[in-house]
A and B are shown apart, each in its own frame.
Chain A
Amino acid sequence: MAKSFTFELVSPERLLLSEEVEQVVIPGTEGEMTVMADHAPTMTSIKPGVITVVQAGGGREQFVVFGGFADITPDGCRLLAESATRIADLDPTDLARRIEEARAEMEGARDHETRTKAEEFLGQLTTLQGALLPA
């Protein structure tokens, strides 16, 4: 059995999860990464995506996050999520609303930089929607 470490998933409103886990898959902005115990200290920003948690007992849980940060140390991982929900509780209309907002922001962007950023964010959201809700 793999070594376990503490994983905490925190959203501004509350602490969603704090438990011993074996591995966590995080959607980093530079690509997905799987975190296991004794990982090198890393800090990464997160894009909208799915977090998969494999608990020490062997259970699996999945969460949807909309951006945030992960602070990884050898003995733990703290994920500060902009907003996070269990995948089962995800409201498709909420996701659609976020996409709509992102689109509006992209269209209303004044300079190139914010436009590129908004475009990127929109792309990530639509990918997420495509992955979660098979049409």
Chain B
Amino acid sequence: MASLKDLRNRIASVKATQKITKAMQMVAAAKLRRAQEAAEAARPYAERMGAVLANVAGSISGADAPPLMAGTGQDDVHLVVVCTADRGLAGSFNSQIARLAREHIRKLQADGKQVKIITVGRKGYDQLRRDFGPLIIDRIELREVKQIGFANADAIAKKVIGLFEEGQFDVCTLIYSRFKSVISQIPTAQQIIPAAVPQAESAGEGAIYEYEPNAGAILADLIPRNIAVQIFRALLENAAGEMGAKMTAMDNATRNAGEMINKLTITYNRQRQAQITKELIEIISGAEAL
């Protein structure tokens, strides 16, 4: 049986832990709001980009489409870009993404495809290194980045497109966590190369565009940018999701700590009472013996 002093120490330490988890929860809540705002602010660009892309792509026939859109015509080498957070303590956030990535890669391997991996975020690398170490061709850490900017996404996109142009892979899939709500993040796999182009809703609207310099050049310029935009969106959703998951995890931790403190306090009080009773009995039986 732990002594009263031990119990007191334990209660104090659990209280200290609770304070930390509580603080982390509040920090995550504040960051979540910022991340959500950033994700929201980025939406108009992505939407309009989609509309413009659908428009231009509609005017270009299949044969003239740039390779980033049409693909290499092969399906042998797959590149998987796994985006996770750089930090843990966010519940199952990172492991869920890693699990989806693992399933995806295993399926590709079972189909006889060659797989290459790029990890974005330290946690993804840590988790996938064990199973697929030799397949990881590159890893990107965004630890020092406070607020993810378009430049970060653009750098990743440039790297991916560079590899594509060297013929290093045929299909590229992006794995990230879609931010559905604060308590629900859904790991998602999205193919970014060859780019799936949204269909124009009303192809026959009769808007005959003039293109400067020409439709092909614009499309060749638009597609890489669209890939960067998709990566950017994935990173932003990931950031928001991470904070949401962290908030929930820390909320749970705070609550668990509270429960533990209650239990410990009850044990502590019981023991204290037992000791008092014992002392009283000793005094009384001592007095009776006289």
Would you give the 0/1 interface string for A62-94, flagging 1 where the beta carbon is closer than 8 Å to chain B? 000000010101000010101100000000000
Which B residues lie at the A interface, using CB under 8 A? 38, 41-42, 44-45, 48-49, 51-52, 55-56, 149-150, 153, 207-213, 215, 217-218, 221-222, 225, 228-229, 232
Q: If A8-B48, A13-B149, A43-B218 touch, does A29 touch B55 (CB 8 Å cutoff)? A: no
Specify which of A12, A43, A80, A82 is in contact with B55 (CB 8 Å cutoff).
A43
**B49, A43: Cβ atoms closer than 8 Å:** no
Cα A78 to Cα B46 with chains together (Å): 12
**A112 contacts chain B at the CB level, 8 A cutoff:** no
A residues less than 8 Å from B209 (CB atoms): 41-43
Give the residue of A15, A45, A73 whose beta carbon is less than 8 angstroms from that of B213.
A45
Do the beta carbons of B221 and A45 come within 8 Å of each other? yes
Q: Is A96 an interface residue (CB 8 A)?
A: no
**Residue numbers in A under 8 Å from B212 (CB-CB):** 28-30, 42-45
- Say what secondary structure dominates the interface of chain A: strand
Interface of B is mostly: helix
Cα(A41)–Cα(B211), bound, Å: 9
Binary interface profile of A, 22-63, with partner B (CB < 8 Å = 1, else 0)? 000000111000000000111111000000000000000000
Q: What is A's interface to B at a CB cutoff of 8 Å?
A: 8, 10-15, 28-30, 40-45, 69, 71, 73, 78, 80, 82-83
A80 to chain B, nearest CB (A): 6
**A29 to B211 Cα, complex, angstroms:** 11
Known: A8-B48, A44-B218. 19 other contacts (CB 8 A): A10-B45, A10-B48, A12-B153, A13-B41, A13-B45, A13-B149, A14-B42, A14-B44, A15-B41, A15-B45, A29-B212, A40-B210, A42-B211, A43-B210, A43-B212, A43-B215, A69-B221, A69-B222, A80-B49
